Amino acid sequence: MSNLKAISGYDRYLFHEGRHFRSYRMLGAQQGERAGVKGVRFAVWAPNAREVMVVGDFNGWSGEDKMRRLKSSGIWELFVPGLEPGALYKYQIVSAAGDVREKADPYAFWAEVRPLSASRVFGLDGYRWGDSQWQGGERLTGGVNKPMAIYEVHLGSWRRKTDGSFYSYRELADELSDYAADMGFTHLELLPVAEHPFDASWGYQATGYYAPTSRYGSPDDFKYFVDRCHQKGLGVILDWVPGHFCKDDHGLRMFDGSPLFESGWPARAENQGWGTLNFDFGKPEVWSFLISNAMYWFDIFHIDGLRVDAVANMIYLDYGRQEGGEWLPNEHGGRENLDAIAFLKKLNEAVHYYYPRALVIAEESTAWPLVSRPVYLGGLGFDYKWNMGWMNDTLRYVSLDPIHRQWEHRLLTFSLLYAFSENFLLPLSHDEVVHGKKSLLDKMPGDYWQKFANLRAFFGYFMAHPGKKLLFMGGEFGQFSEWYEGRGLDWLLLEYELHSKLHGFTRELVRFYRDDSCLWENDDNWRGFEWIDCHDSRQSVISFLRRADNDEHTVVVTNFTPVVRHGYRIGVPEAGSYREVLNSDRAEFGGSGVTNDELRAEPQAWHSQPFSVVLTVPPLATVYIKREAMREE
């Protein structure tokens, strides 16, 4: 057990400067020994408090254990001997005005199961990891020249037990990791696991930033989950919410009787659209709290990446706000949140300094430039940016009746005007299958068969378009109802033929994507993409090439109408025999079975290519074609 030294002046200095990136080792409930006595050192930042006490089940929740304020600091400290892991505690804080409130520890590593809200003492370093191979370099890094197919999951509703209760982290560790690995996904992305009081917030309104939610088990159970994923070859990305927090009384709001983590200006603090409070990025201690939290998930839980939620809300002071008093401009009169921008840059610099292979992904929905470019080049420093424009355009397009798609062809082609301005990730996320938006399958027009055909065609196009991939759970087998966090997915649908065949198609598609370097090796530049024909709006057919570094190419053709296109000629770059390598209309996938045998390239120039092939394009389908010699090589 470690020796609990006094909190040093240098630690306090770094914390108050916003540069203590391991402040979770200083604050919170730290187990160890002091003068040979085992116990717990409690430490909390509460600069405007008149008095702070530790209350818990070990002292009858009385205020007898008073903390002392460290010199020239807003940090309070107390060593309590004899405490064991699992002990419950809170901080009882007397404000400058004399008000008394009980608060959960902002740095608590574990919490009670909601609706209870006390913090729990927990030791961080007792788990024995088994992912040395993964950490040693065998993992998929998710770099721009690597495949990345992410399966987005809400742990509480991927599956539920027959009595409606949750699967635990350890149960999910086996079932979910086996399933995702079998499907061919490279990463799991988890909706936020930080402790949160309200199930329907999905974790996006947190109270315990350092506590994996106790709904599914202990912090060590969550470590086991990540460990098991790594052993199955899956990276783990966490959704992370550094922009705002919920207002529950036991959380961060008015923590020491004053607006501490939030701004003192209501126009800056209040997030009326979400009913939350924005972090005040003008306070260096908030930087230490949040950047340390990012490091904590990498250090302690071996995660592989963070998806940063609602970046637009952070970088724009007027995001979701009306003119006339709802927001305050910056010191230059602009709407940019200069403090938040500086914070994001420092966050990404720090994470990538300590974890060069880490992924930090921005959910950013505006035209802010250079989101995924390094800080030293003037960017925000993220590795990837969600391509919300592509998502909105294509989902709008595929929701149209095919007879109307010819008039909206630009929705398919516009994304290539900016496809390489950022390192993009294409998201088909949870946000697109809730609140009346319908499930992916139910968005598709037409009769029962056409809905499935549309979705398979769309998935084929999605996997071939430049950018990394993300698919929310349930989409892979055609969940018909919208996602609802209060129940598990409708796995019984796999007993029905078209759902089962769609599931098989998704598995083969994801695996093909991983195996075909043409689809990901040049995701960030024009070398990897070339239009064959982007102009056939009348027939709603698009065709393009994806290229690997060695000039191997994959031809992609998608027909977004239910009409078979016979004798359809497309240009190809080389002579030789071409063959279908994937066709979403194959009968085994639930299609009509319109396929092509060997295709011989003719020396007839077409579509600005020196050769061409003539094929039959199946209805509502995507076809991948490769030159036979390439396949043999």
Catalytically active residues, by annotation: 309, 363
Question: Which residue from 120, 130, 9 is spatially nearest to 73, judged by alpha carbons?
Answer: 9
- Identify whether the C-beta of residue 373 lies closer than 8 Å to the C-beta of residue 367: no
- Identify whether the C-beta of residue 501 lies closer than 8 Å to the C-beta of residue 590: yes
- Identify whether the C-beta of residue 175 lies closer than 8 Å to the C-beta of residue 159: yes
Residue 618 CB coordination number (10 Å) = 27
CA 566, 571, 576, 579 dihedral sign is: negative
Report d(CA 347, CA 311) in Å as an integer: 13
Report d(CA 253, CA 445) in Å as an integer: 46
Q: What's the CA angle centered on 240, arms 236 and 244, to 5 degrees?
A: 175
Q: What are the start-end ranges of the H helices in 132-257?
A: 132-133, 169-183, 219-231
DSSP secondary-structure letter at 371? T
Question: Which residue from 544, 523, 190 is spatially nearest to 385, judged by alpha carbons?
Answer: 523
- End-to-end CA gap in the chain: 58
Report d(CA 214, CA 186) in Å as an integer: 27
H or E element that contains 463: helix 448-464
**Phi, psi dihedral angles at 413 (to 5 degrees):** -100, -20
CB half-sphere exposure, 576, CA atoms < 13 A: 13
Tokens 């239009």 correspond to 531
Report d(CA 617, CA 623) in Å as an integer: 8
- Identify whether the C-beta of residue 149 lies closer than 8 Å to the C-beta of residue 510: yes
Task: Find out whether the peptide bond into 115 is cis, omega within 30 degrees of 0.
Answer: yes
